[in-house]
Amino acid sequence: MTASQFSIQFDGMELLRLYHQNRCIKTRNQLVQLHTGLVRKMAHKFSHQCNEPYEDLEQIGYFGLIRAIERFDPRQGYAFSSFAIPYIRGEMLHFLRDRGTLLKIPRRWQELYNEGQRVRKELAGTLGRPPKDSEIASVLKVSVQEWQETKLAVQNRMPLSLDATIVQNIDCQITLGEALPCQRSVAVQQQDEERQQLQGAINMLEEKPRMAVEMVYLKELSRKDTAKNIGTSPMTVTRYLQKGVQDLVSMLRPQAV
């Protein structure tokens, strides 16, 4: 970290502490100006993956930055940038979903996806069951993460017609549009955004509480097994969980403006 970067980070934290004590619009605007780089970096990344103008993405990103500033608690001791990025990214994703924008898929991903579908069929015939992602990735000689990201990107790009028939018989035809409740769609979007925010908050926990939360609540391990993995006692795991949950509640609790 350079001296100028350290100075910016120090000044930003001081302003965040000041804003946490006294929510002044002028201070908030200073914080937005100080962290424009976070928004611009994310907007630049998204602009190469969709058809929306960079300027629109940047403006939407500032809404996420402001939300992060409002909810950030400097007393927790974690970096603001790590806290803000999920909010900025979430606003842009929400904007793209509302606009129905189709993501542009890199040529390599498209080719990898097509090859993966061929491998899937071959493995299914050989194994007598649907192959796992790890098995497909092994044949493709890529990481499981890259294969899953490729698959998700291509699948998210495929548009579905609301007029497509999903149930058809002599007396009844049901289209996708008729079977898709608007309230559920909104709920799914909200759950996705909340999941992103929760994961971002988990990533900012201290190491041992984070490991305990992930193992017990995400991987559904017992506290005894978690204690073995961490190298401690089940009682200590319980304390880690209590601290982790308390910190998550504090991070995710809406703060008054």
pLDDT of residue 105: 60
Q: Which residue has the higher pLDDT, 109 or 180?
A: 109
pLDDT of residue 94: 78
Instruction: State the SS3 of the chain.
Output: CCHHHHHHHHHHHHHHHHHHHCCCHHHHHHHHHHCHHHHHHHHHHHHCCCCCCHHHHHHHHHHHHHHHHHHCCHHHCCCHHHHHHHHHHHHHHHHHHHHCCCCCCCHHHHHHHHHHHHHHHHHHHHHCCCCCHHHHHHHHCCCHHHHHHHHHHHHHHCCCCCCCEEEECCCCEEEHHHHCCHHHHHHHHHHHHHHHHHHHHHHCCCHHHHHHHHHHHHCCCCHHHHHHHHCCCHHHHHHHHHHHHHHHHHHHCCCCC
For range 65-78, the mean pLDDT: 83
Which of 135-144, 176-185, 211-220 shows the lowest mean pLDDT across its residues?
176-185
- Proportion of the chain above pLDDT 90, given as a percent: 10
Name the amino acid, one letter, at 218: L
Which of 5-19, 125-139, 242-256 shows the lowest mean pLDDT across its residues?
5-19
Confidence of residue 153 (pLDDT cuts 50, 70, 90): low
CATH fit for domain 107-182, picks 3.30.750.24, 2.40.50.140, 1.20.58.1910, 1.10.10.10:
1.10.10.10
For range 178-188, the mean pLDDT: 46
Q: CA 104 to CA 88: how far, in whole Å? A: 20
Q: CA 70 to CA 210: how far, in whole Å? A: 24
Q: CATH topology of 107-182 equal to that of 205-257?
A: yes
Domain boundaries, the chain: 1-102, 107-182, 205-257
pLDDT of residue 191: 61
Give the total residue count for the chain: 257
Q: CA 74 to CA 209: how far, in whole Å? A: 19
pLDDT of residue 227: 92
The CATH number given to 205-257 is 1.10.10
pLDDT of residue 147: 87
pLDDT of residue 199: 77
CB 72 within 8 A of CB 84: yes
pLDDT of residue 200: 77
Q: Is the pLDDT of residue 249 over 50?
A: yes
Q: Which CATH class is domain 1-102?
A: mainly alpha
- Proportion of the chain above pLDDT 70, given as a percent: 72
Q: Which residue has the higher pLDDT, 88 or 12?
A: 88
Q: Which residue has the higher pLDDT, 208 or 76?
A: 208
pLDDT of residue 6: 36
pLDDT of residue 18: 87
Q: Is the pLDDT of residue 140 over 80?
A: yes
Q: Is the pLDDT of residue 210 over 80?
A: yes
Measure CA of the first residue to CA of the last residue in the chain; give whole Å.
33
Angle at 109 between CA 108 and CA 110, to 5 degrees: 90
pLDDT of residue 257: 38
Q: Is the pLDDT of residue 166 over 50?
A: no
In this structure, what token pair is assigned to residue 219? 């991987």
Looking at the DSSP assignment, which residues form a beta bridge with residue 149? none
Angle at 93 between CA 89 and CA 99, to 5 degrees: 145
Q: Which residue has the higher pLDDT, 156 or 121?
A: 121
pLDDT of residue 187: 53
As a whole number, the mean pLDDT across the chain is 76
